[in-house]
C-alpha cells in the first residue's frame, strides 16, 4: 500500500476532512482515517497543541516499578535500537499498555525536539489524549502503525514521523508499545522492520522461564531457526492452547483471540510423543514442523538410575556444552577472538577482573556472556548492568540495594540490588566509563572489601562474584583528565581485551554470507548486494550490519532475491564515502573480484554444496561452476 507524505495531496486530505467535514478523496490509509474519525467524535481540536505535562519523578519511578519486567526484557532492544536511532537522528520510545512513556533514548538533538511536543518519559500518548499518533493508534488498532508528518491529527505533531508496534505477553494481553520517532522531513524506510523485529525478540524473552504447568512447543518449518526469535512458541495446558508468540500463532493460522479456545487436536495430526522422540510432527495441513517440547511433561520423563561415574561424566559434558548456541545477532568470533576469549577465561577463573574495550556494536556483552558460559561460574547468575542506562538519581539504589523506607518511593520490602543478584556468578558492568564520578569511590570500596551495606542501613553483606567490565571510552585518557578514578581503573583492568571494529576484518564477504545464512531462511542475496554490504564501513559495527540484514529480511518475502536495488542508499557503492578503505589494500576491488569472492564464501558457508550455494546467491548452478572454475558434475 502506498503511503502519503506531508505533501499537497495530504494537505488536500486535511482540508477535506477538517474544513469541509467530508471524506478525503485521496488515498488516505484506512488506519489514519479511522483514527481521525475517532478523534473528531471526541471533539478534539486539530490545531491546538495538547497540554501534556510529565508526571512527577516519584510517579514515574512508581510506573516503571509496576512495569519492571517489561522494561527489563525490553532493555536490550531499547539499547540496540537507540544506537540505530542515534545514527538516524531519531529516538526509540517504550510505553506501557495505556500509552504512558516509560523510557526514551536516541539522538540528543531530536530528544530535545521531541520534548517540545512532550514526547518524553512520564507523558501519556494515548489517542484520546493527543489524537492520532503511532503509539496511541497502535494501542487502539492492536497492530503496527506508521503515522507520517501531517497524518497526525494534531497539526503541531506534523514535525514527527512515528512507527509503533504493540507488545503482547504470552497470553495475548497488550502490555506495552515500542516506537521509533523521527523528523518528518527525513526518510524512515527501515523503522517498521526494525521495530517489528525488536518486539518479536521482546515477546520471545517472555517465554525464557517457560509457562507454569504447560508443555511449551518450540516449532519452525526450518530447524535452523529453532532457538531464534523466529521460532513459533505454543504453550498447551491440558491439551488447550493458552499462550503463544506471534510466530507461533502465524504458524498455526490463529489469532490472539483463539488463545484459550484452540485445542492441540485442532492443530496437529501427530501425537506430542512424536515431537519428543523424533523432533518433528505434522500439522493439520500436512506440513512437517521441527522442534522440541519444554515444560512439566518434558521434565517428568524418568531417566535411568545413574552411578557416580555416570554423573561425573554427565557433569563434564554439561561443562563442555555450556556455551549457548550463537545468537543470530551475535558477532562471529574469529580465531584471534577465540584465543582472546580463552585467555580471558583463564584470568576470570583466577578471580581477576577482565576489562573489554571496543566501539559501539562490536559485541562487548556477547563476549562477556561467552566468557561466563566458559568459566567455572557458568552455572551461576550472569548479571549485566549498563552503567549509562540506570535512571539518574537511582544508580546507587539500583546497584547496592536498599532497606525498606530508605527513600521516598522505595519498595515496601526493599531491594537486594544488582550486585547481590550476581552472588556466586559474574557481574558485567557495561559502559563503566560512563559511571558518575561521585559513585566511583563507593564501587571501588565494594570491590576492595567484597561487601556492601544497603542504603538505609542494614547488616553488611559479603559478596562473591567475578567481575567483567566493558567500555567504548578511552579509560587511560579519562583517568588523565580526571573523569575516571585511577585507583578504580587499576582495580578493574587486570586483563584488557580489545574487540576490533568490523571495518578491520579482512573477510567481510564471508561474514556477510554467514550471517545471511543464519537469518534469511529461503531468501537469496545477489552477489552485487553481498559485495556492497561487505565493502561498507559499518560505523555501528556488528549491531549496524545485523540491523541492516534484519531489515532487508523483514521487508522481503520468503524466497525473495535481494538485489543491489534493495540495499539502503547509504550502503550502495555509488553513494557511500569514496574515501572509505577498500577491501583490498591496493585500492577498490573490481566488482568481478568481489562477486567471485562472494561465490567462494557462499560455497564455504554451504560446506561445498554447489546447488545450495547457487540457491543462496540466486544464480544458476552453471554460472557458479563457470565463475569459480570448477567442472560441473553430470548425473
Q: Per the domain annotation, does 200 fall within a domain?
A: no
Give residues with Cβ within 8 angstroms of 592, minimum separation 6: none
Instruction: State the Cα–Cα distance between residues 513 and 602, nearest whole angstrom.
Output: 6
Q: What sign for the dihedral angle of Cα 345, 346, 352, 358?
A: negative
Instruction: State the Cα–Cα distance between residues 43 and 382, nearest whole angstrom.
Output: 52
Instruction: State the Cα–Cα distance between residues 509 and 599, nearest whole angstrom.
Output: 9
pLDDT tens per residue, range 323-340: 344 444 456 666 677 788
The DSSP result for 273-321, as a single string, is: HHHHHHSEEEBTTS-EEEEEEEEHHHHTSPPPP--HHHHHHHHHHHHHT
Q: How far is CA 463 from CA 404, 429, 436, 451, 470, in A?
A: 21, 15, 22, 5, 21
Give residues with Cβ within 8 angstroms of 499, minimum separation 6: 331, 337, 356, 357, 358, 359, 362, 363, 364, 367
Q: Let me know whether 347 and 426 are in one domain.
A: yes
pLDDT tens per residue, range 346-392: 999 999 999 999 988 888 988 998 899 889 988 888 888 888 766 54
Work out the mean pLDDT of the chain and round it to a whole number.
79
Q: Per the domain annotation, does 311 fall within a domain?
A: no
Q: Per the domain annotation, does 313 fall within a domain?
A: no
Q: Let me know whether 68 and 168 are in one domain.
A: yes
Q: Per the domain annotation, does 475 fall within a domain?
A: yes
Instruction: State the Cα–Cα distance between residues 63 and 121, nearest whole angstrom.
Output: 10
CB-CB contact of 182 with 91 (8 Å): yes
Please state the domain count of the chain. 4
Q: Let me know whether 350 and 489 are in one domain.
A: yes
Q: Let me know whether 41 and 165 are in one domain.
A: yes
Q: Beta strand pairing status for 288-295 and 215-220?
A: antiparallel
Low-confidence ranges of the chain (pLDDT < 70): 1-7, 25-26, 108, 111-117, 189, 295-335, 389-398, 400-417, 453-459, 574-597, 601-635
Give residues with Cβ within 8 angstroms of 149, minimum separation 6: 5, 6, 10, 158, 159, 160, 161, 184
CB-CB contact of 512 with 604 (8 Å): no
CB-CB contact of 449 with 441 (8 Å): no
Q: Per the domain annotation, does 633 fall within a domain?
A: no
pLDDT tens per residue, range 383-436: 888 887 665 455 556 676 654 544 334 344 446 667 778 888 999 999 899 888
DSSP 327: P
Q: Per the domain annotation, does 17 fall within a domain?
A: no
Instruction: State the Cα–Cα distance between residues 623 and 26, nearest whole angstrom.
Output: 47
**CATH number of domain containing 111:** 3.30.450.40
Give residues with Cβ within 8 angstroms of 555, minimum separation 6: 190, 193, 566
Give residues with Cβ within 8 angstroms of 48, minimum separation 6: 154, 156
Q: Which pLDDT score is estimated for 142?
A: 92
Q: Let me know whether 37 and 178 are in one domain.
A: yes
CB-CB contact of 259 with 267 (8 Å): no
Among 192, 227, 245, which residue terminates a domain? Answer: 192
Q: Per the domain annotation, does 273 fall within a domain?
A: yes
Q: Let me know whether 494 and 396 are in one domain.
A: yes
Domain limits at 341?
Answer: 335-405+412-498
Q: Which pLDDT score is estimated for 587?
A: 42
Q: Let me know whether 478 and 422 are in one domain.
A: yes
**Which letter, b or e, does each residue of 478-491 get, where b requires 16 or more Cβ atoms within 10 Å of its Cβ?**
bbeeeebbeebbeb
**CATH number of domain containing 539:** 1.10.8.60
For the chain, the straight-line distance linking the first and the last C-alpha, in angstroms and rounded, comes to 46
Q: Which pLDDT score is estimated for 405?
A: 43
Q: Let me know whether 96 and 244 are in one domain.
A: no
Instruction: State the Cα–Cα distance between residues 181 and 468, nearest whole angstrom.
Output: 34
Q: Which pLDDT score is estimated for 101?
A: 93
Q: Which pLDDT score is estimated for 96?
A: 95
Q: Let me know whether 357 and 423 are in one domain.
A: yes
Torsion of CA 309, 313, 314, 318, to 10 degrees: 150
CB-CB contact of 125 with 95 (8 Å): yes
CB-CB contact of 554 with 568 (8 Å): no
pLDDT > 70 fraction of the chain, expressed in percent and rounded: 76
Q: Cell 512424536 belongs to which residue?
A: 274
Q: Let me know whether 343 and 454 are in one domain.
A: yes
Among 447, 466, 498, which residue terminates a domain? Answer: 498
**CATH number of domain containing 435:** 3.40.50.300
Q: Let me know whether 155 and 278 are in one domain.
A: no
Phi, psi of 267 (to 5 degrees): -105, -30
Q: Per the domain annotation, does 112 fall within a domain?
A: yes
Nearest-CA neighbor of 430 among 349, 368, 346? 368
Q: Let me know whether 605 and 522 are in one domain.
A: yes
Kindly report the number of other CB atoms within 10 A of residue 75's CB atom: 16
DSSP 54: P
Among 146, 177, 192, which residue terminates a domain? Answer: 192
Amino acid at each position: 500500500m502506498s503511503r502519503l507524505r506531508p505533501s499537497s495531496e495530504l494537505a488536500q486530505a486535511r482540508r477535506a476532512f477538517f474544513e469541509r467535514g467530508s471524506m478525503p478523496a485521496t488515498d488516505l490509509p484506512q488506519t489514519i482515517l479511522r483514527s481521525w474519525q475517532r478523534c473528531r467524535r471526541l471533539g478534539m481540536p486539530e490545531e491546538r497543541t495538547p497540554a501534556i505535562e510529565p508526571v512527577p519523578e516519584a510517579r514515574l519511578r512508581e510506573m516503571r516499578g509496576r512495569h519492571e519486567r517489561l522494561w527489563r526484557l525490553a532493555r536490550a532492544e531499547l539499547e540496540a535500537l537507540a544506537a540505530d536511532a542515534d545514527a538516524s537522528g531519531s529516538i526509540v520510545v517504550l510505553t506501557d499498555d495505556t500509552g504512558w512513556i516509560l523510557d526514551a533514548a536516541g539522538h540528543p538533538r531530536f530528544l530535545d525536539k521531541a520534548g517540545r511536543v512532550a514526547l518524553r518519559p512520564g507523558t501519556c500518548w494515548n489517542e484520546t489524549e493527543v489524537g492520532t499518533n503511532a503509539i496511541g493508534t497502535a494501542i487502539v488498532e492492536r497492530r503496527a502503525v506508521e503515522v507520517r508528518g501531517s497524518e497526525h491529527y494534531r497539526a503541531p505533531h506534523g514535525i514527527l514521523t512515528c512507527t509503533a508496534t504493540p507488545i503482547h505477553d504470552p497470553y495475548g494481553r497488550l502490555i506495552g508499545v515500542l516506537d521509533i520517532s523521527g523528523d518528518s522531513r527525513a526518510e524512515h524506510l527501515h523503522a517498521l522492520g526494525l521495530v517489528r523485529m525488536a518486539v518479536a525478540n521482546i515477546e520471545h524473552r517472555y517465554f525464557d522461564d517457560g509457562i507454569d504447568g504447560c508443555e511449551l512447543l518450540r516449532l519452525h518449518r526450518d530447524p535452523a531457526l529453532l532457538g531464534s526469535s523466529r521460532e513459533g512458541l505454543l504453550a498447551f495446558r491440558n491439551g488447550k492452547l493458552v499462550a503463544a508468540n506471534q510466530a507461533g500463532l502465524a504458524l498455526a493460522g490463529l489469532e490472539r483471540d483463539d488463545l484459550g479456545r484452540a485445542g492441540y487436536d485442532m492443530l496437529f495430526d501427530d501425537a506430542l510423543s512424536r515431537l519428543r522422540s523424533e523432533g518433528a510432527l505434522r500439522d493439520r495441513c500436512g506440513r512437517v514442523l521441527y522442534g522440541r517440547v519444554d515444560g512439566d511433561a518434558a521434565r517428568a520423563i524418568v531417566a535411568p538410575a545413574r552411578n557416580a561415574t555416570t554423573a561425573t561424566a554427565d557433569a563434564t559434558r554439561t561443562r563442555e556444552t555450556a556455551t549457548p548456541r550463537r545468537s543470530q545477532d551475535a558477532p562471529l568470533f574469529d580465531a584471534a577472538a577465540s584465543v582472546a576469549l580463552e585467555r580471558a577465561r583463564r584470568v576470570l577463573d583466577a578471580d581477576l577482573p577482565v576489562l573489554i574495550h571496543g566501539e559501539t556494536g562490536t559485541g562487548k556483552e556477547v563476549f562477556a556472556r561467552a566468557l561466563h558460559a566458559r568459566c567455572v561460574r557458568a552455572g551461576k547468575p550472569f548479571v549485566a548492568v549498563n552503567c549509562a542506562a540506570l535512571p539518574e538519581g537511582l544508580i546507587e539504589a539500583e546497584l547496592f540495594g536498599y532497606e525498606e523506607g530508605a527513600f521516598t518511593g522505595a519498595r515496601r520490602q526493599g531491594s537486594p540490588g544488582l550486585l547481590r543478584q550476581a552472588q556466586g556468578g559474574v557481574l558485567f558492568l557495561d559502559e563503566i566509563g560512563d559511571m558518575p564520578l561521585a559513585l566511583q569511590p563507593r564501587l571501588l570500596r565494594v570491590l576492595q572489601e567484597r561487601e556492601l551495606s544497603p542504603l538505609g542501613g542494614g547488616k553488611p553483606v559479603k559478596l562473591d562474584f567475578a567481575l567483567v567490565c566493558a567500555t567504548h571510552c578511552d579509560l587511560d585518557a579519562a583517568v588523565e583528565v580526571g573523569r575516571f578514578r585511577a585507583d578504580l581503573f587499576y582495580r578493574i583492568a587486570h586483563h584488557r581485551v580489545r574487540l576490533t571494529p568490523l571495518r578491520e576484518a579482512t573477510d567481510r564477504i564471508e561474514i556477510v554470507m554467514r550471517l545471511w545464512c543464519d537469518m534469511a531462511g529461503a531468501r537469496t542475496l545477489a552477489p552485487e548486494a553481498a559485495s556492497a554490504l561487505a565493502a561498507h564501513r559499518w560505523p555501528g559495527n556488528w549491531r549496524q550490519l545485523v540491523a541492516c540484514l534484519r531489515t532487508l529480511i523483514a521487508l522481503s518475502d520468503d524466497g525473495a532475491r535481494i538485489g543491489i536495488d534493495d540495499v539502503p542508499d547509504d550502503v550502495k557503492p555509488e553513494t557511500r564515502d569514496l574515501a572509505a578503505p577498500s577491501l583490498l589494500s591496493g585500492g577498490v576491488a573490481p566488482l568481478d573480484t568481489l562477486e567471485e569472492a562472494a561465490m567462494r564464501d557462499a560455497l564455504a558457508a554451504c560446506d561445498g554444496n554447489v546447488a545450495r550455494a547457487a540457491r543462496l546467491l540466486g544464480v544458476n548452478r552453471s554460472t557458479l561452476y563457470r565463475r569459480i572454475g570448477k567442472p560441473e558434475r553430470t548425473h
